[in-house]
Chains A and B, each alone.
Chain A
Amino acid sequence: MKITLSKDKIESEGIALIERISGEDLKQCYQCGNCSGGCPVSLEMEITPSQMIRQLQLGNIEGVEEANTMWLCLGCQQCYSRCPKSVSAAKILEALRQLHLRKGEDHAEIAEMDMPLLKRGPQQAMVSAFRKFVS
């Protein structure tokens, strides 16, 4: 896929918003890949946390939106604890989720969840999932 780089995209309002919600400076990341290396779920992600940051550095928000990365992130902060530049990929992914949730675009519908799962699943996980997936 070819993308066109421009100042408008790289320094767009969307990017500024993500930086404001997450409190992270995307330019800080130098793409060492430590976050992706340590992430317990990066194997299942369509793009890894470091690739997600790279796409945002290039101003490609759509590319990140399409991927399952933000919904798979556990928020365990492994990425942050390993980052030599103290960037939290988890916070950036939380910001990306917030962009959806604040618009009321939920990623899960509690009513549609089947009962066996709700009964079997650990309470902690359920609370966490509601908090992450539901506005």
Chain B
Amino acid sequence: MPRIGVFVCQCGNNIESTVDTQKVADELKEMPGVAYTCSYKFMCSSPGQEMFKNAIKDNDLDGVIVSACSPHMHEKTFRKASEAAGLNPYKCEVANIREQCSWVHHDETKKVGTVKSLDLTRMMLERLKRNKPLKATSIPVTKKALVIGGGISGIQAALDIADGGVEVVLVEREPSIGGNMARLSETFPTMDCSQCILTPKMVEADLHENIKILTYAEVEKVDGYIGNFTITINKKAKYVDESTCTGCGECWEKCPFKADSEFELGLNKRKVIYTPFPQSVPNIPVIDAPKCPKIQKDKCGLCAKVCGPGSIDFTQKDEIVTEHVGAIIVATGFELMPNEHFGEYGYGKIKDVVSGLQFERLASSSGPTGGKIERPSDGKTPESIVFIQCAGSRDEAKGVSYCSKICCMYTAKHTMLYKHKVHEGKSYVFYMDIRAGGKRYEEFVRKAIEDDGAMYLRGRVSRVYEKNGKIMVQGVDTLSNGQQVEIEADMVVLATALISRKGADSFAQKLGIGYDKDKFYSEYHPKLKPVETVTAGIYLSGTCVGPMDIPESVSMGSAAASKALGLFSSDKMAREPITADVNKTTCNACWDCVTACPYTAIAKTEVKDREGNIVQMLAEVNVGLCQGCGVCVAACRSKSIDLAGYTDEQVYAAINAF
């Protein structure tokens, strides 16, 4: 016969006002298997817990029920106390008689509440009789992190983890780290130059002894689970030996072939052997193989001839690298909605209609014009520029229902940069709302309007067309009763929508993390677990989650790093033993559970005989990945899966006791 103790909490008056806790305790005392009961004012208080522990020891209890608040509140507290009293923590259960009983009943005679509390506790009693003592499992943790994406957010995450003494592999797709921030001219609201604040961080990451940077590389495959991931990375051929290249620049100076620069967003050319920008980290060029005549047709090879250390290697092939890491930080960033989507704004037809990011390059001192604001078509200094906000954003017809968040601020910044560089210039901004939520952001926008004379017009642009070498912009100013306005401009800048990267969805599937309808990655909880994902050990950082500005991306990088460092703080990680378990004798390998599992925790395994012949296929649960959600239990047709701590036997016993 089990010896179970029942502790009924009064919770001050929270429970006691509608439940006769003493009666609950007295009636349960008569139930078979119950050795001890009591009613107590505050079970969660220190004296309450002391009493709880002593009662377990004095009465030699082998199971306990605390009838109190929701297990969300204090299950952990009482399981810990049980363990301290020498009882297996999973032999302690909490019956919820507050949220699910006393708080929803207002019967002051306590009749209803008492009966329901008795029912709830009795159900728990029958369940508890079938509880098995479970043991928390622990899995080893590889103390190394992978950061995917070398933008500002990824760099910050990598630096923070590395400073915490843990090795980091930073994988970047482009030839240099830096991301989109490297393209910016100045940053709002302080107007400090983007390169000046970013490049020191890039160099710091490059020189850090704990950081290994793999550029021109992409993550191909992710296997394993928290603490034990195996990453397959494809290092694309650079055709340059990284160990000997000094970054002298002789090769790209002599290279006779040019191509559109991706970094300059088509505003300028680069050589076929190139680094994306002068401050590239690492400062090692790559050869654009499809455009290189030497690689394609075995003609030229000038770069190899001028290279002092002989670092050019035309025979280099893509290389597959495998890394073992304990945590992954995803910081893959964003891209802009292609401007081709904006026919009504003349994009594609009119050369002087550019995107916000292209304008950043025009304003940047390292950009194609050396920081002079010039029209792309004829190099003339524009006398007036029209900025169109919400180009694509908040436009469900174009498939973007959300606000891109940063455009209001960067457009205000653009008007300032333009005014500071072209004193006689006049800027016009068409906006729908000005969203300047942030420290010193509203003041920044007002400064653009009041000090730098940007003309803000609330309304959208309906038409952009060319007339006599000018760009005619026709729109509306809803602030003056929907008056139509027309502007003769020299340039139009579109604040195009910030969207998720192409292929973000298939990459999320590779990682086993969630994404929303816009293919931005989903947090575990949007407020309380903003950097975690549904897959333990994979954290999120930066604009792959949604539109955000630099301060937010940086804080999120640090937040993700702190989560990873928390994981790395011990050699082994304890895991809840509430995991699914497959009955090997009845599993018929239909793989419904494999399809159903949201955590890819169930694998197909082979059972072999002595000769090595496959005799059976079985589903097997990886306890490292299993989160104990129970979906597989429901999906299993042959009832071969049970969830430890929530077995069918326990659940049915509780239901039958009602």
Chain A residues within 8 Å of B, Cβ to Cβ: 1-7, 10-11, 25, 27-28, 30-31, 51, 54-55, 57-58, 60
Contact = CB atoms under 8 A, between A and B. Distances in A.
Interface in B472-528: 477, 479-481, 483-488
Interface string B440-461: 0000001001100101011000
A11 to B, nearest CB: 7
A51 B458 CA distance: 13
14 contacts: A2-B485, A2-B486, A4-B487, A6-B384, A6-B487, A6-B488, A11-B426, A11-B453, A28-B450, A31-B458, A31-B479, A51-B481, A54-B477, A60-B480
Contacts of A28: 450
Contact of A5 (B424, B446, B481, B485): B485
B322 to A, nearest CB: 58
A30 B488 CA distance: 24
Nearest to A6: B488
A-B pairs with the 10 shortest C-beta distances? A7-B426, A2-B484, A54-B480, A27-B450, A5-B487, A4-B486, A31-B479, A54-B479, A5-B485, A27-B449
B218 interface: no
Interface string B364-394: 0000000000000000000110000000000
Nearest to B453: A27
B274 interface: no
Contacts of B383: 7
Contacts of B424: 7
A55 B30 CA distance: 85
A68 to B, nearest CB: 16
A1 B485 contact: no
B428 interface: yes
B481 A3 contact: no
A129 B485 CA distance: 37
Contact of B455 (A10, A25, A31): A10
Main secondary structure of the interface of B (DSSP, over half): strand
Contacts of B485: 2-5, 58
B486 A57 contact: no
B486 A1 contact: no
A7 B384 contact: yes
Contacts of A11: 426, 453
Contacts of A3: 483-486
Interface residues of B, number: 22
Report which residue of A1, A5, A10, A51 has the largest number of chain B beta carbons within 10 angstroms of its beta carbon. Answer: A5
Contacts of A4: 485-488
Nearest to A10: B455
A11 B477 CA distance: 18
Contacts of A55: 480
A2 B383 CA distance: 22
Contact of B428 (A1, A5, A60): A5
A1 B483 contact: yes
A30 B446 contact: yes
A9 to B, nearest CB: 10
Contacts of B483: 1-3, 58
Nearest to B475: A5
A111 to B, nearest CB: 38
Interface in B24-39: none
A1 B484 CA distance: 6
Contacts of B481: 51
A58 B458 CA distance: 12
Contacts of B458: 31
Nearest to A59: B455
Nearest to A33: B479
A32 to B, nearest CB: 10
A113 to B, nearest CB: 34
Contacts of A27: 449-450, 453
Nearest to B442: A30
A57 B455 contact: yes
Nearest to B427: A7
Contacts of B428: 5
A2 B449 CA distance: 23
A58 B488 CA distance: 14
A134 to B, nearest CB: 31
Contacts of A54: 477, 479-480
A50 to B, nearest CB: 8
A29 to B, nearest CB: 10
A6 B488 CA distance: 7
A60 B486 CA distance: 13
A13 to B, nearest CB: 16
Contacts of A31: 458, 479
Interface in B99-129: none
A123 B480 CA distance: 37
A6 B458 CA distance: 16
B386 to A, nearest CB: 9
A60 B477 CA distance: 13
Nearest to B450: A27
Indicate the member of B383, B446, B479, B481 with the most A CB atoms within 10 Å. B479
B465 to A, nearest CB: 14
A51 B481 CA distance: 8
A54 B481 CA distance: 10
A58 B480 contact: yes
Contacts of B450: 25, 27-28
A4 B484 CA distance: 9
A96 B197 CA distance: 49
Contacts of A1: 483-484
A107 B483 CA distance: 29
B479 A5 contact: no
Contacts of A60: 480
A55 B457 CA distance: 11
A28 to B, nearest CB: 6
A55 B483 CA distance: 10
Given A5-B487, A57-B455, A60-B480, 11 more contacts: A1-B483, A2-B485, A4-B485, A5-B428, A7-B384, A27-B449, A27-B453, A31-B458, A31-B479, A54-B477, A58-B483
A46 to B, nearest CB: 11
B130 to A, nearest CB: 66
Contacts of A25: 450
A5 B477 CA distance: 11
Interface in B392-424: 424
Contacts of A2: 483-486
Nearest to B458: A31
A51 B483 CA distance: 11
